[in-house]
Amino acid sequence: MEFENLLVEISRGVAVLTINRPRVHNAMDEQTLDELDRAVTKLLADDHVRVIILTGAGEKSFAAGGDIGALLRLDPLAARRLALQVQKTFSAIEKGPKPVIAAVNGFALGGGCELALCCDIRLASETASFGQPEINIGILPGFGGSQRLARLVGKGRAKEMMFTGDRIDAAEAFRIGLVNRVVPADQLLSEARRLAEKLAAKGRVALQLNKQAVENGLEMDFDRACAYEAELFALAFATEDQKEGMSAFLEKRPPRFTDR
């Protein structure tokens, strides 16, 4: 896959997808968002890819949000169309069958923060910072950020970040549960790769079922979610990997999953 604003590297079942616009802090203009949609679609469908890492080029930014000049020219209908298009891409990341890890290496602001939020696991460098500063330009998050942020860190903290537009550093992001882990900047990508390779060694079907249980179950009331979990639990027992995994455990050997 070749793109103007993205880099894609696939190795040992792990795809590293890098937003490559460091001169503008990896801001996501219309072309970048379109390329991101196409890249995500292809990687999710690629049987050679088991886990995806999302990151930004350079040391300063993961993604610094949208192109304000382009946003200024939008009318309400165009703004709604843009929001729905990007929400579709971000939902594909969030609900797709493969784990997606955000390796946040700097600024994750506006749409960049929203991109990190739709990933399954977020690792941050010590120099990373997060924010939803849309209020400062008279708008609000439009790519699902208001909903994912509140679900992740709670309504009060989400409202404070959205109402003030202030940034928070990596330590605060970890404290409120926005990121899973904070690591030294020079170890961020290697730590993301280590985690990705660990996940890639798991059975593909079981990983997908685990992701579905969380993503879909959170949208249901508790009783329905538990019933849904029971259905997925039962479905896992129809796989060869379930039998292999349990047999390997009892035989005290590593499992040899075949994704069936």
Q: What is the DSSP letter of 72?
A: H
- Note if 215 is an active site residue: no
Distance CA 3, CA 5 (A): 6
- Note if 114 is an active site residue: yes
Minimal CA–CA distance to 110: which of 144, 70, 82, 85?
144
In the chain, domain spans: 6-200, 204-250
Confidence (pLDDT) at 64: 87
Confidence (pLDDT) at 197: 97
Confidence (pLDDT) at 161: 98
Confidence (pLDDT) at 52: 98
**CA quadruple 211, 213, 217, 222: dihedral positive or negative?**
negative
Distance CA 166, CA 186 (A): 26
- β-pair partners for 52: 15, 100
* SS3 call for 8: strand
Block residue for tokens 């298009």: 85
- Give the pLDDT means over successive 10-residue stretches in the chain (260 positions): 91 96 91 96 96 95 86 93 96 97 96 97 97 96 97 97 98 98 97 97 95 94 96 96 95 93
Distance CA 140, CA 134 (A): 5
- Asked if 166 contacts 131 with a C-beta cutoff of 8 angstroms, the reply is yes
HSE (CB half, 13 Å, CA atoms) of 71?
Answer: 18
Q: Is the pTM of this model over 0.75?
A: yes
Q: Which of 2, 134, 160, 231 is catalytic?
A: 134
Distance CA 70, CA 213 (A): 38
Confidence (pLDDT) at 235: 96
Q: Which of 114, 215, 219, 244 is catalytic?
A: 114
CA geometry: angle at 142 spanning 136 and 146, to 5°?
Answer: 80
Minimal CA–CA distance to 21: which of 82, 83, 74, 65?
65
The domain 6-200 is placed in CATH, from the list 3.90.1150.10, 3.90.226.10, 3.40.50.700, 3.10.129.10, at: 3.90.226.10
CA geometry: angle at 198 spanning 193 and 200, to 5°?
Answer: 90
Span 204-250 CATH architecture: Orthogonal Bundle (1.10)
Distance CA 103, CA 58 (A): 12
Helix H or strand E segment including 100: strand 100-104
